[in-house]
Amino acid sequence: MNPVSDLIKNLADQHGRSRHNLLPILQGVVEQEKYLSEFSMTEIARELDLPAAEVYGTATFYSFLEHKKMGRYIIRICKTITCSMKGKNQVLLAIEDMLKINVGETTPDGTFSLLQTNCLGFCHKAPAMLINNEVFTDLTPEKVRDILSTYMKKKGASYDN
């Protein structure tokens, strides 16, 4: 059986199969898969006995529930006011330059996706970004290069597995 189908079954067993369990299940799939594919959403709809269009309509409402294929590490850099004032664009340029992708794109090897997001709630330590669920603050171009280098090494390590 497809591993995503298994995942969805397990999530539904864990959270329940009512409408109000939809978000945790969507989140569970995104945590594992980084995004919700057409297949995932269809399976969720089937599992919860919900119309597929409803699942799609609900998922697309939430910024963190991506429905396009994403890399293993999703970088979300905050673009709201304080981060923008404190040099977000310079950090963004450094990332784009280093990963050779623009905002909204994924590196060809599928490791990183780069997105902008609204206020992360770290305005006192701006600029800030998330890589998956981890927060990085007080960013500078230099600092962000170091952070990404660490992630790139992580990537190398996991490739050995």
Partner 1 sequence: MTISYQLKRVDFIFKNENDWEDVLSKSISRTPQELINELISSELKGRGGAGFPTGLKWKLSSEEGDDTKYVICNADEGEPGTFKDREILSRVPFKVLTSMAVCGHVIGAKEGYIYLRGEYFFLQPELNKAISEFEYYCKEINLDFKIRIFMGSGAYICGEETALFESMEGKRGEPRNKPPYPSSYGYMGKPTVINNVETLAHTFTIFKYGAKRFYDLGVQYSRGSKLFSVSGDTPKPGIYELELGMSLADFVDEFGDGDTKAVQVGGASGFLVPRKRFNETAIGFQGKLTGISLPTGGSMMLFNSSRSMFNVLDNYLEFFREESCGQCTPCRVGCQQLLSGIKAVKRGEKNAQYLDKLMRLAETMQYTAKCGLGQSVANSFSSIVENFREEMIY
Partner 2 sequence: MTKKIKISINGVFVEIEPGTTILDAALQAGVIIPTLCYHKDLCVAGNCRVCVIEIAGQKRLAVACATPCEEGMEILTNSLKVRNSRKHIIELLLSEHNADCTRCYKNGNCELQNLASEFKIMTQDFIQLAPLRKYTIDMFSPSIVKDDSKCIRCQRCVRTCVELQGVNALTVAHKGDHMKITTFFEKAMNDVVCTNCGQCINHCPTGALVEKNYIEEVWDAIADKTKHVIVQTAPAVRVGLGEELGFEPGARVTGKMVAALKRLGFDAVMDTDFTADLTIMEEGTELLTRLKKVLVDHDPEVKLPMATSCSPGWIKYIEHMFPNYLDHLSTCKSPQQMFGALAKTYYAKARNLDPEKIVSVSIMPCTAKKFEAARPEMHDSGYRDVDYVLTTRELAIMIKQAGIDFMKLEDMHYDRLMGESTGAGVIFGATGGVMEAALRTAYELVTGREVPFENLNIAPVRGMEGVKEASIKIENPLKEWAFLEGVELKCAVAHGLVNAGKVMEAIRSGKASYHFIEFMACPGGCLGGGGQPIPTSPEIRRKRAEAIYAEDAGMPIRKSHQNPEIIKIYKDFLDHPNSEKSHHLLHTHYTSRERF
Residues that bind partner 2 (CB under 8 A): 38, 41-42, 45-46, 51-57, 60-61, 67
Give least dist CB 111 to partner 1, A.
20
For the chain, how many residues are written? 161
Considering beta carbons, is residue 100 or 124 the nearer one to partner 1? 124
Question: Cα(29)–Cα(50) distance, rounded to whole angstroms?
Answer: 17
Comparison of 98 and 116: residue with beta carbon closer to partner 1 = 116
Q: Which does 93 bind (CB under 5 to 8 A by kind): partner 1, partner 2, none?
A: none
Looking only at the bridges linking them, the beta strands covering 134-136 and 129-131 are antiparallel
Residue 149 site contact among partner 1, partner 2, none (CB < 5 to 8 Å, cut-off depends on kind)? none
- CB 28, CB 13: distance < 8 Å: no
Q: How far is the CB of 69 from partner 2 (least distance, A)?
A: 13
CA distance 45 to 64: 19
- State the residues that interact with partner 1 by CB under 8 A: 18-24, 26-27, 30, 57-58, 61-65, 79-82, 84-85, 117-126, 130, 133-135
End-to-end, the C-alpha distance of the chain in Å comes to 23
Q: Could you tell me the smallest distance in angstroms from the CB atom of residue 68 to partner 1?
A: 15
Smaller CB separation from partner 1, 2 or 32 = 32
Shortest distance (Å) from residue 69 CB to partner 1: 18
CA-CA distances (angstroms) from residue 30 to 26, 56, 103, 112, 133?
6, 14, 20, 15, 12
Q: What phi and psi values does residue 125 have, to the nearest 5 degrees?
A: -130, 40
